[in-house]
């Protein structure tokens, strides 16, 4: 059984059940306060089978709602992870297609907010160029799309010594801009996707717009995840004094690709509140206590000490 990392003041129990021949572990905080909102940070193993993926995610969303979550976070590629460029493009849809329509209905029927963290959205000029966006879609509890962020930093990385070779730009269009944080039942959520995690400028921009929570739904490779995943997430939390919620893909998707897992929730002090481990699908249910965020920022007022933006680019101007 996987262990859930938590702060010392939180007692935890685990509830596990068999589903679709996979062991799904739901980690629950045993002493949750009814006055503090709960988020579910999910971990899945998507394949090219869209129907099976939806069934698995639907079960997690229902379990999260039963566990008291008001917002559920699903990872990059929640809809599918293709085994080739052609398959990835063939399986893509528009925001008005079947997959998003089904998630809108799911959100409405359960009365829960959804963060769909990396949808393969057909580009606006799909018929001409056959490329897609990697889109983070927020759906409210009425089943309405309230925000769409399109991934701005694309993962074009060659690490032959580690067996990593991915060029996202060959089929994906970079997003044109950031989007403002979204007001949700758990606080103001700033949107990123996976590789965006490596660019602190993005997290600081979202902080300046009032973000309480940063979210990086991901499908990290095993090699990069082992080296950098937790370190980067904790760094983003510490430098912004935000909660960071990072749903994740885990395990083997097909013969060509596996993901690191360890869906993570981090508090504004940088402490890990929940870790789903590197083997099984499941979720971590965590309280998002905004009073803790305010206390952290008040006691260590980093943002008040930050100099104006031009100060940090002064060396560039001197050259």
Can you tell me the distance from the alpha carbon of 192 to that of 171, in angstroms, rounded to the nearest whole number?
Answer: 19
Q: What is the architecture of the domain spanning 12-318?
A: 4-Layer Sandwich (3.60)
Q: How far apart are CA 144 and CA 152, in angstroms?
A: 23
Please write the tens of the pLDDT for every residue from 153-210. 997 777 878 777 777 888 899 999 999 999 999 999 999 999 999 999 999 999 999 9
Closest CA to 115 of 90, 86, 135: 135
pLDDT of residue 218: 97
Beta-bridge mates of residue 24: 17, 281
Lowest mean pLDDT among 45-59, 74-88, 154-168: 154-168
- How many whole angstroms separate alpha carbon 234 and alpha carbon 268? 9
Residues classed as catalytic: 76, 151, 194
Instruction: State the pTM of this model.
Output: 0.89
32, pLDDT greater than 90: no
Instruction: Please tell me the predicted confidence (pLDDT) of residue 319.
Output: 62
Q: What are the sequence ranges of the domains in the chain? A: 12-318
43 neighbors 282 (Cβ within 8 angstroms) = yes
Percent of the chain residues past pLDDT 70, beyond the cut: 88
């Amino acid at each position: 059984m996987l262990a859930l990392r938590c702060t010392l003041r939180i007692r935890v129990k685990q509830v596990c059940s068999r589903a679709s021949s996979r062991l799904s572990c739901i980690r629950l905080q045993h002493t949750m306060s009814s006055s503090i909102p709960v988020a579910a940070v999910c971990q899945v193993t998507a394949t090219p089978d869209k129907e099976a993926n939806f069934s698995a995610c639907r079960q997690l969303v229902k379990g999260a709602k039963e566990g008291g979550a008001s917002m559920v976070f699903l990872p990059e590629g929640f809809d599918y992870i293709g085994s080739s460029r052609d398959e990835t493009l063939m399986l893509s849809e528009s925001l008005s297609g079947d997959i998003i329509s089904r998630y809108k209905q799911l959100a409405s029927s359960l009365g829960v907010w959804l963060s769909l963290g990396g949808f393969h959205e057909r580009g606006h000029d799909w018929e001409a160029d056959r490329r897609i966006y990697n889109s983070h879609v927020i759906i409210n509890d009425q089943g309405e799309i309230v925000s769409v962020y399109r991934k701005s930093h694309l993962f074009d990385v060659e690490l032959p010594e580690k067996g990593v070779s991915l060029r996202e730009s060959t089929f994906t269009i970079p997003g044109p801009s950031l989007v403002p944080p979204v007001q949700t039942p758990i606080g103001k959520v700033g949107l990123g996707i996976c590789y965006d995690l490596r660019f602190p400028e993005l997290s600081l921009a979202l902080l300046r717009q009032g973000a309480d929570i940063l979210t990086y739904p991901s499908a990290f490779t095993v090699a990069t995840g082992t080296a950098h995943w937790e370190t980067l997430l904790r760094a983003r939390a510490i430098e912004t004094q935000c909660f960071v919620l990072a749903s994740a893909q885990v395990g083997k998707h097909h013969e060509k690709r596996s993901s690191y897992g360890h869906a993570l929730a981090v508090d504004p002090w940088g402490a890990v509140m929940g870790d789903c481990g590197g083997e099984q699908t499941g979720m971590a249910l965590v309280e998002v206590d905004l009073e803790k965020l305010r206390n952290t920022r008040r006691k260590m007022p980093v943002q008040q000490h930050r100099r104006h933006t031009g100060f940090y680019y002064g060396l560039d101007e001197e050259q």
